[in-house]
Structure 1
Amino acid sequence: MYHEILGRQDAAAPTLVLSSGLGGSARFWGPQLPVLTDHYRVVVYDQAGSGRSPATLADDYSIADMARELLTLLDGIEVQRCHFIGHALGGLVGLQLALQRPQLLQSQVLINAWSSPNPHSARCFAVRKNLLRDSGPAAYVQAQALFLYPADWIAANSAQLAEDDAHALAHFPEPQNLLKRIAALQGFDVEAHLSAIQTPTLLIANRDDMLVPWQRSQHLADALPNGELALLEYGGHASSVSDPATFNRVLLDYLTRQA
């Protein structure tokens, strides 16, 4: 898979692995890289079947497959220990990593993630699938901001969103791959295994997230033996983009404590 290794390159540098959500692109983490690369070795990647990582995904593609693909990448670049940061679908990959290879993870930060399906998110993803199948990529991209950001932020950042939409449409993944990725996250359920995950875990959630109810992160914080919740008031599903100053402060505070 396409990847980049940024920031510190010395042997003593702690490693961060950043895994984005449904879009799968390393580009998602642009607002975080300036504050992370001074102190950490940072690995970002485009997930298989998205961005610069072309692939034809299997019909039964799963979050476990995504975790195995990431483990193959990390083995190839000789990452033996890391702090993992995952947004939404990327957070599901983190939970799967914690089950498949717990010794890899020093800590993890899961942003607006979940451990099993819930009716509200199922409805949102059904709408997104229908948009893609019935109306095509342009309608899917146009609707995306409505699921990711607060209404006032959308209104105030229309020019940036227009550029983002144009980029997303120009680099839109194979629609069948995207539908398989949505099916993978819809089928994810590790509820029965949460008590076995000992990795120190910060759950970052947003009270105004309209895609994933913040209570799903509260549930994870309660169920994970070493989980804790940081509940943010503003930013929607992607506050790392819409309110990066607040998000970055919470993230850096946690990573500093883990060090």
Structure 2
Amino acid sequence: MHYEILGRQEADAPTLVLSAGLGGSARFWAPQLPVLTDTYRVVVYDQLGTGRSPAELPEGYSIAHMAAELLALLDHLHIERCHFIGHALGGLVGLELALERPQLLQSQVLINAWSSPNPHSARCFALRKTLLRDSGPQAYVQAQALFLYPADWIASHGEQLAQDEAHALAHFPSQDNLLRRIAALQAFDIEARLGEITTPTLLIANRDDMLVPWQRSQHLADHLVAGQLQLLGYGGHASSVSDVEPFNRVLLNYLASQA
């Protein structure tokens, strides 16, 4: 997998591992990197089968596969302890890591994540699959902003979105890969094992997230041994992009508390 190690380079520097959502690209974290790289060694990566990590994903591909791929990368880099930050699908990877190798994680921050399917998100992902299959990548990419951002932010960031959409189309994954990644997040269900996760965990959620109801993060906070919820009022599903300063402040405060 393509990866980059940014910020501090010392092996004993506090280390952050950032995992993006369905798009899988390290590029997602650009708004956070300026405030993280002075203090931390930051590992970002393109998930397998996305961006700069070309691969043909197999049938039955799962979140457990994604976690195993990341663990192989971290072993290759000799990273034995880290703080993990995951957005949506990336948050599911973090939950899987916390089950499979709890000694790796000093803490985790899970943004608009979930522990089992819910009817609203299932409807949204079914629609996205239909768009991809019946209308193609351009329609899929054009619709993506509607799931990620507040309406007023979309209205005032037309030029940025046009550039982002052009980049997404130029680097669009194979249809089979994307459908298998969506199937993996649709199938994810660890309800029966939530009590096993003892990693200190901050759940960040947004009241105006139209893809994943914020109550899914509240559920995680209520059922994880060391979970706490920070509920934001604005920003949609990707407030790390659409409302950067409040998001970064919450993130930095939590990381400082876990030092």
Q: Secondary structure at the match of 1:85?
A: strand
Displacement of 1:13: 1.1
Match of 2:164 in 1: 164
Equivalent-residue separation in structure 1 for 2:108 and 2:192 (angstroms): 19
TM-score (norm 1): 1.00
Equivalent-residue separation in structure 2 for 1:94 and 1:111 (angstroms): 10
Equivalent-residue separation in structure 1 for 2:11 and 2:84 (angstroms): 18
Displacement of 1:7: 0.3
Match of 2:78 in 1: 78
Q: Which runs of 5+ in 1 are unaligned?
A: none
Displacement of 1:181: 0.1
Q: Secondary structure at the match of 1:231?
A: strand
Displacement of 1:237: 0.1
Match of 1:134 in 2: 134
Displacement of 1:10: 1.8
Q: Aligned residue pairs: how many?
A: 259
Equivalent-residue separation in structure 2 for 1:69 and 1:41 (angstroms): 20
Q: Which runs of 5+ in 2 are unaligned?
A: none
Match of 2:243 in 1: 243
Equivalent-residue separation in structure 1 for 2:255 and 2:111 (angstroms): 14
Letter matched to residue 137 of structure 1: P
CA RMSD of aligned residues (A): 0.4
Equivalent-residue separation in structure 2 for 1:12 and 1:123 (angstroms): 45
Q: Which runs of 4+ in 1 moved over 2 A?
A: none
TM-score (norm 2): 1.00
Q: Secondary structure at the match of 2:23?
A: coil
Match of 2:96 in 1: 96
Displacement of 1:233: 0.2
Match of 2:62 in 1: 62
Displacement of 1:228: 0.0
Kindly provide the CA deviation profile for residues 86-131 of structure 1, in whole angstroms up to 9, marking residues without a partner as x: 0000000000000000000000000000000000000000000000
Match of 2:154 in 1: 154
Displacement of 1:49: 0.3
Displacement of 1:11: 3.2
Letter matched to residue 71 of structure 2: L
Equivalent-residue separation in structure 2 for 1:170 and 1:57 (angstroms): 20
Equivalent-residue separation in structure 1 for 2:71 and 2:11 (angstroms): 20
Equivalent-residue separation in structure 2 for 1:80 and 1:56 (angstroms): 29
Letter matched to residue 20 of structure 2: S
Equivalent-residue separation in structure 2 for 1:250 and 1:93 (angstroms): 21
Match of 1:143 in 2: 143
